Amino acid sequence: MAEKGAKAKLYDVAFRMYTADGRSLTDIEDALGVSRQTLSVWKAESKRPNEDLDDWDRARAQKRSNVQRLRALFDRELTALEETRAGDLSAVSLDAITKLGTLVQRWEIAETGPAYDRPRVFLENLQFIIGWLRENNPEGLKVLAESFDPLTTAFKAGCNGNA
């Protein structure tokens, strides 16, 4: 049984864990110490009359939709990148596609589970980009080499803030 006042303290956290992190009510119960029954009540209270989904499930579905849209955007941008002539790739474009790819991977991994190995994903993205540039755009590879230190520094700062 939840303590008196638990809803005021934990509702937003539970909602975020369910919608953004994709966690189950059982996982949230274990993490927050709020019974599954209490969480179910909170969830049910968010349902509006004549609606199929409560706010929790609606927010979770919206996140999934956003992930799919982001994936489609990444695929379009990657196709455009592949069609770019050697030497036409700017550092800004390379940085944008790298960030977009990382974001897509982060959201897709978040959908399948909480484990996210940032250094591994960073290295995989970097290896993919280097390989593609080596074959298709040697000038772009030079741009990447020139931008490598600032990109690495930014990545490390992000890891320290999000680890």
- Is the domain of 18 the same as that of 82? no
Give the residue-averaged pLDDT of 16-38: 87
- Is the domain of 75 the same as that of 141? yes
Q: What is the pLDDT of residue 42?
A: 92
- Is the domain of 30 the same as that of 91? no
> Quick check: is 57 in a domain?
no
Alpha-carbon distance values, 69 to 62, 63, 64, 98 (Å): 10, 10, 9, 17
Asked whether 17 and 23 are in contact (CB, 8 A), the reply is: yes
Query: pLDDT per residue over 46-70, tens digit each?
Result: 999 988 899 999 988 888 888 788 8
Instruction: Return the percentage of the chain with pLDDT > 70, whole number.
Output: 88
Checking if the pLDDT of 163 tops 50, the result is no
Mean pLDDT of the chain, nearest integer: 81
> Quick check: is 56 in a domain?
no
Q: What is the pLDDT of residue 157?
A: 80
Give the residue-averaged pLDDT of 146-155: 81
Checking if the pLDDT of 2 tops 60, the result is no
- Is the domain of 103 the same as that of 138? yes
Please give the residue range of the domain that contains residue 112. 64-162
Q: Is 117 left (phi over 0), alpha (psi -120 to 50) or beta?
A: beta
Give the residue-averaged pLDDT of 106-117: 62
- Is the domain of 39 the same as that of 102? no
> Quick check: is 59 in a domain?
no
Q: How far apart are the C-alpha atoms of 93 and 84, rounded to whole Å?
A: 11
Q: Which two tokens stand for residue 42?
A: 């909170």
Number of domains the chain is built from: 2
- Is the domain of 103 the same as that of 153? yes
pTM of the model: 0.48
Alpha-carbon distance values, 82 to 77, 89, 129 (Å): 9, 10, 11
> Quick check: is 76 in a domain?
yes
